[in-house]
């Protein structure tokens, strides 16, 4: 997962930074849930629950007192001060998906053009090709717009450049957390993390997380959901 | 004030019990008898002839000629072949075996179909060869429904449905004695409420000797036993009298709820509101098409549109009959909604199970001041069965006063918040009643309703007001919020607008603020996300009885 300092420099060199990003990605989980070496996280101790996350139990009355909700003093997940982005490699997954869709449609229209000699099919194929390529050109920007953020009591998720959408899911409302992997994502070592609440409209899927991160996050969030659970 | 009662029935004692002995008959036996009757009715002629041939062998040549073809023609005429080959004995034996087999099967399935109600769950075991064991946790109970189809009412029985969250997760007890079902519903909800049973039992030991409870599980099964050696005719009269009483009794037992909390519907309003609904418009349109078509000499129009009209009229009729004898009442166990003329049904929604409420008013209802109220409940799932749809309509049609009372029943904690803003929420526009206002530029997106769009939030509920042609006021308890979304499309961004949507369970109610000033929407989104966590943490309604007792103890 691209951590915050790295994400700041990603924008102009998304494909190039892929290879160096990988070792760093591995390093973040090793550094524990609250990496001390990240300057942006230095405000974390003030957030209360974060210091307790190493031991998963809060023995410090001061930290639990500063927690807004008294029912969950321990917080197994570090609170994010800023948005976290998904792996830049996820661009590849999106591009491959778009390309496959484009090839299928263009081929179908070309077949229609050559076989049945429908002249408009050629123009349709060209139009689809152009639109898809423009879409693909915006793909890195779109992937960069995907972000998530763990707060004390809920998870924020946002995505989209044209149609921006931002969702807040309280931890106690998560009914299950799902890790899914498509073939391309698997080749790149990525996974999608899907959150299911009792409402179908929630539809929050964080795509393109490194597998280790996704699984760790899933376990942490499930544990968190368990402590916060309150009926439906 | 909660008045926890002693167990009304002895069924909720954690032991296994059986269902009403008429249940196999009602669940499938009636179909079996009907099929048998149909077969017999169709074969009557043949069977009569058969008996004549068998028992009066010398009936003359007439039969001999008519039934020459009987010989060994198994494929076309198995009955005839059986008769002429002298295998009547075997045939009768086979029929007897089938009938006995079916009866034993029904009896076995009744024997093996048991249920028990413990402190934690309702469990049902059923099946002869393939056993199934289904249990519903009581703290997840979303409601208890009692259905009484016409046939079941003739037998004095009822079907009890314990609905829990999730697809087809319901636990059904079909069928129970009618009075027992009501008692059991009260018991299940009392246990689910977490109210301490020991306390209530000790509080009312005398009431346990009530005649209703005396019979315990078998009271309804053997009405005669308890009465003793009375003549059979008197017993029959008593049973018939009781059935007639049950049929004529009001759908809602008056002792169950305080009369001032009951909302009734008048027949005229039900009929009138249904006739002013969208279905009627569709019928009028179709009839106009038919008339126009016939006038233009296009007779095919009749064939294609008349079935649709018949279907719509049937739908209207069922809407009206289902809404007849509608009543909504607050009982200690929750909100009880009952309806139906011949087949009656009622459901009880415990406190805290209502996820979202919406009052809507279609434009044709506006002159009459009619509103309808629908809710989102867990346990109905998204299934489009008419039953499930019916269950989400809490108030088919009512005036503002009725809406006020229904909202007070559904969201009792929010009553003090709702009362002052309800009028502004239902019919008002602009800043009336403290609602937020929408900037004028929203008229590009909502030309008619932008003045009405607004929200207000306090005391654990959020209200979204919108709609001009169909006015709508959605109320959502913040403790039930699943997630909150803020969305901005290209047009909205250009106009510096955004929409906020509160996600709730699948149901007829969508809780959404379609347009609002971008900054205000962002603020609302943050506020709702934070409030949802706070109110969900403070929510205790999954064990509402226990929570009430605690409160009472704290107060005293």
Which residues does chain B have within 8 Å of residue A198's beta carbon, measured at their own beta carbons? 165, 378, 482, 505
Which residues does chain A have within 8 Å of residue B483's beta carbon, measured at their own beta carbons? 167-170, 173, 197, 199, 201-202, 204
Contact B165 A170 (CB under 8 A): no
- CB of A228 within 8 Å of any CB in chain B? yes
Grade residue B68 by pLDDT with cuts at 50, 70 and 90.
Answer: low
Query: What CA–CA distance (Å, rounded) separates B160 from B176?
Result: 7
Which residues does chain A have within 8 Å of residue B532's beta carbon, measured at their own beta carbons? 154, 168, 170, 173
- pLDDT tens by residue, B8-63: 566 777 788 888 888 888 877 678 788 888 888 877 777 777 777 666 666 555 55
Query: What CA–CA distance (Å, rounded) separates A78 from A42?
Result: 12
Which residues in B287-321 are b (16+ Cβ under 10 Å) and which e?
A: eebbeebeeeeeeebeeebeeebeeeeeebeebbe
Residue of A nearest to B485 (CA): A167
Residue of A nearest to B356 (CA): A199
pTM for this model (two decimals): 0.73
Helix (H, G, I), strand (E, B) or coil at A35: coil
pLDDT score recorded for residue B307: 84
Annotate A173-186 with DSSP letters as a single string. Answer: G--EEEEE--HHHH
Query: What CA–CA distance (Å, rounded) separates A86 from A78?
Result: 17
Which residues does chain B have within 8 Å of residue A172's beta carbon, measured at their own beta carbons? 533, 536-537
- CB of A196 within 8 Å of any CB in chain B? no
* Mutate which: A199, A204, A206, vs B, most B CBs within 10 A: A199
Which residues does chain B have within 8 Å of residue A230's beta carbon, measured at their own beta carbons? 479, 536-537, 539, 542
Q: Residue B101 corresponds to which tokens in the numbers above? A: 């087999």
Query: What CA–CA distance (Å, rounded) separates B312 from A48?
Result: 62
CB B378 within 8 A of CB B396: no
Query: Residues of chain B whose C-beta is under 8 A from some C-beta in A?
Result: 139-140, 142, 165, 352, 355, 378, 382, 479-490, 493, 501, 503-506, 525, 528-530, 532-534, 536-537, 539, 541-542
The alpha-carbon gap from B301 to the nearest alpha carbon of chain A, in Å, equals 37
Asked if residue B353 has pLDDT above 50, the reply is yes
Q: Which of A147, A194, A197 is nearest to A172 (CA)?
A: A197
Query: What CA–CA distance (Å, rounded) separates B301 from B298?
Result: 6
Helix (H, G, I), strand (E, B) or coil at A70: coil
pLDDT score recorded for residue B352: 81
CB B435 within 8 A of CB B465: yes
β-pair type (B471-477, B354-361) = antiparallel
Residue of B nearest to A157 (CA): B485
- CB of A175 within 8 Å of any CB in chain B? no
Count of alpha carbons within 13 angstroms of residue B354, beta-carbon side: 32
Residues forming beta bridges with residue A177, ordered by sequence position: A195
Q: What is the ipTM of this complex?
A: 0.71
- CB of A197 within 8 Å of any CB in chain B? yes
Q: Residue B134 corresponds to which tokens in the numbers above? A: 């289904």
- pLDDT tens by residue, B501-549: 999 988 889 999 999 999 999 999 999 999 999 888 888 776 776 766 6
- pLDDT tens by residue, B444-495: 999 999 999 999 998 889 999 998 899 999 999 999 999 999 999 999 999 9
Helix ranges, chain A (H): 4-9, 18-30, 49-52, 61-65, 90-116, 119-137, 139-145, 183-187, 211-228
Query: What CA–CA distance (Å, rounded) separates B411 from B351?
Result: 8
Contacts of residue B143, Cβ cutoff 8 Å, sequence gap at least 6: B163, B334, B347, B348, B349, B350, B353, B377, B379
Which residues does chain B have within 8 Å of residue A206's beta carbon, measured at their own beta carbons? none
Contact B484 A230 (CB under 8 A): no
The alpha-carbon gap from A161 to the nearest alpha carbon of chain B, in Å, equals 9
pLDDT digit string (tens) for chain A, length 232 residues = 333 333 333 333 333 333 333 333 333 333 333 333 333 333 333 333 333 333 333 333 333 333 344 444 456 667 877 899 999 999 999 999 999 999 999 999 999 888 888 888 889 999 999 999 999 999 999 999 999 999 888 899 999 998 999 999 998 888 888 899 999 999 999 999 998 888 888 889 999 999 999 999 999 888 888 887 766 6
């Amino acid at each position: 997962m691209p951590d915050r300092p790295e994400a700041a420099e990603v924008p102009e060199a998304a494909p190039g930074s892929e290879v160096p990003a990988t070792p760093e990605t591995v390093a973040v989980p090793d550094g524990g849930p609250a990496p001390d070496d990240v300057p942006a996280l230095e405000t974390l101790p003030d957030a209360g629950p974060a210091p307790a996350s190493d031991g998963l139990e809060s023995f410090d009355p001061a930290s639990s007192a500063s927690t807004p909700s008294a029912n969950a003093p321990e917080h197994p997940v570090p609170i994010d001060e800023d948005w976290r982005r998904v792996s830049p490699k996820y661009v590849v997954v999106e591009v491959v998906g778009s390309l496959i869709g484009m090839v299928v449609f263009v081929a179908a229209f070309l077949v229609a053009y050559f076989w049945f000699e429908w002249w408009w099919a050629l123009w349709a194929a060209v139009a689809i090709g152009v639109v898809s390529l423009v879409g693909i050109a915006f793909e890195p920007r779109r992937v960069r717009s995907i972000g998530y953020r763990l707060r004390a009591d809920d998870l924020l998720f946002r995505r989209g450049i044209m149609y921006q959408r931002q969702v807040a899911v309280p931890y106690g409302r998560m009914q299950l957390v799902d890790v899914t992997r498509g073939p391309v994502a698997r080749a790149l070592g990525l996974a999608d993390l899907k959150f299911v609440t009792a409402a179908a409209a929630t539809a929050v899927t964080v795509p393109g997380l490194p597998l280790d991160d996704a699984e760790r996050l899933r376990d942490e969030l499930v544990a968190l959901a368990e402590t916060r659970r309150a009926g439906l | 004030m909660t008045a926890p009662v002693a167990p009304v029935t002895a069924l909720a004692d954690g032991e296994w019990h059986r269902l009403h002995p008429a249940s196999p008959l009602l669940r499938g036996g009636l179909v079996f008898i009907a099929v048998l009757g149909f077969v017999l009715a169709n074969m009557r002629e043949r069977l009569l002839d058969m008996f004549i041939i068998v028992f009066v062998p010398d009936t003359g040549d007439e039969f001999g000629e008519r039934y020459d073809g009987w010989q060994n023609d198994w494929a076309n005429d198995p009955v005839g072949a059986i008769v002429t080959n002298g295998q009547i004995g075997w045939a009768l034996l086979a029929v007897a075996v089938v009938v006995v087999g079916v009866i034993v099967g029904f009896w076995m399935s009744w024997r093996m179909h048991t249920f028990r109600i413990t402190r934690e769950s309702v469990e049902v075991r059923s099946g002869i060869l393939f056993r199934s064991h289904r249990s519903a946790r009581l703290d997840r109970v979303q409601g208890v429904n009692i259905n009484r189809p016409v046939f079941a009412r003739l037998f004095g029985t009822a079907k009890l449905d314990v609905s829990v969250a999730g697809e087809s997760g319901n636990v059904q007890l079909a069928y129970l004695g009618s009075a027992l079902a009501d008692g059991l519903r009260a018991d299940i909800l009392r246990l689910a409420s977490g109210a301490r049973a020991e306390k209530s039992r000790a509080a009312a030991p005398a009431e346990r000797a009530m005649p209703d409870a005396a019979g315990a599980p078998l009271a309804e099964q053997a009405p005669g036993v308890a009465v003793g050696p009375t003549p059979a005719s008197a017993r029959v009269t008593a049973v018939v009298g009781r059935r007639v009483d049950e049929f004529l009794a009001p759908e809602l037992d008056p002792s169950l709820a305080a009369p001032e909390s009951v909302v009734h519907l008048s027949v005229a309003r039900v009929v009138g509101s249904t006739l002013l609904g969208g279905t009627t418009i569709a019928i009028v349109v179709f009839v106009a098409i038919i008339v126009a078509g016939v006038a233009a000499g296009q007779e095919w129009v009749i064939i294609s549109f008349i079935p649709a009209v018949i279907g719509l009229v049937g739908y209207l009729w069922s809407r009206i009959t289902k809404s007849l004898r509608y009543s909504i009442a607050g009982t200690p166990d929750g909100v009880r909604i009952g309806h139906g003329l011949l087949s009656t049904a009622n459901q009880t929604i415990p406190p805290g199970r209502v996820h979202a409420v919406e009052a809507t008013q279609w434009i044709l209802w506006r002159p009459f001041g009619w509103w309808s109220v629908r809710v989102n409940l867990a346990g109905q799932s998204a299934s489009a069965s008419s039953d499930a749809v019916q269950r989400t309509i809490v108030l088919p049609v009512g005036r503002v006063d009725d809406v006020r009372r229904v909202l007070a029943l559904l969201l009792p904690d929010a009553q003090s918040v709702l009362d002052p803003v309800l009028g502004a929420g239902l019919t008002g526009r602009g800043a009336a009643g403290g609602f937020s206002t929408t900037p004028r530029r929203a008229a590009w997106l909502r030309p008619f309703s932008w003045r009405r769009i607004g929200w207000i939030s306090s005391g654990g509920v959020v209200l979204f007001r919108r709609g001009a042609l169909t006015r709508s006021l959605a109320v959502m308890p913040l403790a039930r919020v699943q997630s909150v979304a803020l969305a901005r499309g290209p047009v909205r961004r250009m106009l510096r607008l955004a929409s906020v949507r509160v996600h709730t369970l699948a149901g007829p109610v969508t809780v959404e603020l379609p347009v609002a000033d971008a900054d205000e929407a962002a603020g609302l989104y943050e506020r709702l996300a934070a409030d949802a966590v706070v109110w969900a943490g403070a929510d205790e309604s999954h064990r509402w009885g226990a929570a009430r007792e605690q409160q009472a103890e704290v107060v005293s």
